[in-house]
Structure 1
Amino acid sequence: MNPAHARVLLTGATGGIGQASARALLRAGAAVLLSGRSHERLDALSRRLVTEGFDATRIRWTAADLGHAQDTRALASEATRLCCNVVIHNAGLPAFGRLEQLSDDTLEAVLQTNLLAPMRLTRALLPHLQQLTDAQLIFVGSALGAIGLPGFSVYSAGKFGLRGFAQALRRELQDSTVQVQYLGPRSTDTGFNDPQVQAYNRATGTAQDPPTAVADALLALIRHPVGERFLGFPEKFAARLNGLAPEWLDGSFRRHRESLPPSPSAPTAPPPLLR
């Protein structure tokens, strides 16, 4: 699709990747419906984009908490009213640390935002999208949706699920006018990564891309609707190898294990024997 013909619903619009993507889309001629949870941040972003010279008539925003069914229906209704033909599922929550350190609330929030919310929004939008002559669903996942790393068990669970959902839906809709795509960025230099993750990345030699690299990849997917794309090396190669023979990589992550925050339940040395 020519981006100038795209009317894009972009979730997670106020985050680092979201803001870079909004600018790239507008620069390419697309109209964009920005979505996120905060009215204030969406309004500020919209105003900032206009002051940067982007056409105000191609910028709309609507706040929605996709954990709530009513907000999901309202966002789908607004995207339908504006005849959006591209949906970029970009909203997400991080989760880093040993599994025993993560609370039930964290598990539920991450899986709700990273997996269930895009599934539900997609289901709500499908009747509209299938009536269009050309439509695209793009799921912004992660390289960790194809490579399970120590410290990212819950985050990977959501992204593996999102990738599986996109893959199955792509095959389900193969005879329709709706293209389904998955983008797997590697670590990205945004506020999404807290200081613990930044330290982990430094200790493990994990490279980070600027958010503009992800935005450029999203534009490329709109122009050339391949089903799946990963970013970065060696992440791209590791994703393919892990899909073929995951156990081959099991011994490759010692440094990652050793770079995790210490476990509060880690065994300590036994007390000396009394004599």
Structure 2
Amino acid sequence: MRLSEARVVLTGASGGIGLAIATALCASGARILAVARHRQPLEPLLERYPDNLCWIAADLTTAVDRSEVLAEAESIGGINLLINAAGVNHFAMLEQLEDSEINAMLALNVGAPICLTKILLPLLKQAPSAMVVNVGSTYGSIGYPGYASYCATKFALRGFSEALRRELADTRVSVLYVAPRATRTSMNSPAAQALNDALKSSVDDPQTVAASVIHAIAGDRRDLYLGWPERFFVRLNSLLPNLVDRGLRKQLPLIRHLSQKPDKENLEP
């Protein structure tokens, strides 16, 4: 896809990976409808790229707000790129989470991208070529203690991406699934960052992830897994899960200790 010709709906646009993607797309000449809860983080971009970027506030877990996103997308002349980057995460053992927190995570991480994609598909199909990009996680391929609910949502998003790609195989709409590793955003609570530090895990900057995503979009990729050794462990987990079980069991005492006081909400806007 030629980025200068991209007309984009981007969710989660005011923070973390989403904001970095918005910045990169604006610099590439794309036109972007930024969907986010907050306008303030987008102000510098809105001022710098007034002809490229517009903003709409929306709660993507509601049908009414998703319809407003559709109407706005129609008003800018249609779209050929949808990037589902909004999401929420909790670092906590399962029994520490309230049902409301689990349901909110499922609604935003799974229900929202599926339903938003569904409502925007007719517009995407009108374009000469189009793409849906779902921003998942390494934890969409590896079940990790302390992230059981989050892993469930990202496994679901990966499965949705694979099935949708096959469902649209005879159309001009392609699907790209992106799996970042740990990224330096508000999604990482202090406890989660402490775990990354203790395990000496690599943490990417949002700009690094965004650059890789933009490159994958331009190259019409079908999937993108970021980081080494994360890509190796994804493969190892699929071939020798018992080996990964044993390795992660050794980390359980540390994970249990650090998750005792989890942040209650870590949200990509």
SS in 1 for 2:13: coil
**Contact 2:176 2:217 survives alignment (8 Å):** no
**Contact 1:200 1:256 survives alignment (8 Å):** no
Is 1:31 matched up with 2:37?
A: no
CA distance in 2, matches of 1:87, 1:172: 17
**Contact 1:46 1:59 survives alignment (8 Å):** no
CA distance in 1, matches of 2:213, 2:94: 32
Distance 1:36 1:50, change over 3 A: closer
CA distance in 2, matches of 1:30, 1:131: 18
Alignment of 1:197-236 (within 5 A): 197-236=192-231
CA distance in 1, matches of 2:215, 2:112: 25
Partner AA of 1:60 in structure 2: C
Alignment of 1:92-111 (within 5 A): 92-111=87-106
Q: Determine what percentage of the aligned residue pairs are the same residue.
A: 41
SS in 2 for 1:179: strand
SS in 1 for 2:191: helix
SS in 2 for 1:253: helix
Partner AA of 1:160 in structure 2: F
CA distance in 2, matches of 1:250, 1:79: 45
User: 1:6-30, CA deviations, whole angstroms, 9 ceiling, x for partnerless residues?
Assistant: 1111100111111111111111111
Is 1:132 matched up with 2:132?
A: no
Equivalence for 1:254? 249
CA-CA distance at 1:255 after TM superposition: 4.1
CA-CA distance at 1:241 after TM superposition: 2.2
Is 1:142 matched up with 2:137?
A: yes
Q: Which has the larger radius of gyration?
A: 1
Question: For 1:195, which of 187, 190, 199 is the aligned residue?
Answer: 190
Is 1:152 matched up with 2:147?
A: yes
Runs of 4+ with >2 A deviation: 44-47, 243-248, 261-264
CA distance in 1, matches of 2:256, 2:236: 28
Q: Which runs of 5+ in 2 are unaligned?
A: 261-269
Q: Which runs of 5+ in 1 are unaligned?
A: 265-275
CA distance in 1, matches of 2:58, 2:217: 24
Is 1:49 matched up with 2:42?
A: no
Is 1:122 matched up with 2:117?
A: yes
SS in 2 for 1:180: strand
CA distance in 2, matches of 1:97, 1:45: 28
Partner AA of 2:131 in structure 1: Q
TM-score by length of 2: 0.92
CA-CA distance at 1:259 after TM superposition: 1.5
Equivalence for 1:88? 83
**Contact 1:46 1:60 survives alignment (8 Å):** no
Q: Which has the higher contact order (CA 8 A, sep 6+)?
A: 2
CA-CA distance at 1:125 after TM superposition: 0.8
